Amino acid sequence: MTLYLGIDGGGTGCRAAVADASGRILGTGTAGPANLTTDLAGTRENILRAARIALAEAVGPGAVEAELPKLVTALGLAGVNTSGGQGLDLPFANCRVETDAVTAVKGALRGGDGIVAAIGTGSVFASQRGGVIRQVGGWGLVLGDEGSGAWLGRALLSRALRAVDGFVPMTPLLAEVIASQGDPSAIVAFARDALPVDFAALAPRVVGSSDPAAVVLMDQAAAEVAAAVDHLQGDAPVPVVFLGGLGAVHARAFANRWEVREALGSSLDGALWLAREGA
């Protein structure tokens, strides 16, 4: 019996599912972050860890190593658009590697037309029209990830330092952030070594806060999301699906701007769909 493995990997974690030819899920697994831009070796390790957990549930722990190389696999990973998936060297029989935007689109829309705004630790936006997918964004935190949790966390620290310098007003939230880090120099030290997931851990301080600084940052995030979706809409509007930890927040903000729909499935569902399609 052929088994199919779907992987959904992002800046916060990696999810795996093993299914049979009918699409029935036999096992699931989770592991740490899987972002090719920030950590190739860690991404490979977490993919295999999540896959083994899912496969053990599907076929039993004793059969994992024998069945692992036989899996027909599709992966949706953050950072593929910047790395091409080079160096992963995974032990699967058949392995299709796509950006997490592609698997998000296939999971959310199946074959239908629409736009997917996937906004979690990072962000990426994609449209599907007539089966053709167009992606924008997803370039990583250093150069992009607009409106995401990591983007918000980095912007919060940046604004705190600007408040220290007197360029913007100091607010209770900014003062709290500075105090929690220790002092401004500690913020710089934190940012030097921080991964996107570390910046994203600060986002809950911003989301839903009435602090003036938080309001400014959320307005900036909303403007970035709107620009990306409007760019993909063009002259032929289609429904928009929001995904990710911050997707619901932005969906509420734009409910009256576009036709906002619920996803038909997750990015993991999309990866499984691609695996079965490829076979």
Q: Which helix (H) or strand (E) holds 132?
A: strand 132-137
Q: Residues 12-36: what's their mean pLDDT?
A: 88
CA quadruple 188, 192, 194, 195: dihedral positive or negative? positive
The hierarchical CATH code for the domain 4-110+264-278 is 3.30.420.40
The pLDDT value given to residue 191: 92
pLDDT at 85: 56
Each residue of 71-96: pLDDT tens digit?
888 998 877 766 555 667 888 878 88
Does the global pTM surpass 0.85?
A: no
Q: Which residues in 239-253 are b (16+ Cβ under 10 Å) and which e?
A: bbbbbbbbbebbbeb
Q: What is the per-residue pLDDT for 36?
A: 76
Report, at the CATH architecture level, how domain 149-261 is classified: 2-Layer Sandwich (3.30)
Confidence check: pLDDT of 278 > 70: no
Domain residue spans of the chain? 4-110+264-278, 149-261
**Would the CATH topology of 4-110+264-278 be identical to that of 149-261?**
yes
Give per-residue pLDDT as tens, 180-195: 988 999 999 999 989 8
pLDDT tens column, 43-68:
889 999 999 999 899 889 888 888 88
pLDDT greater than 90 at residue 274:
no
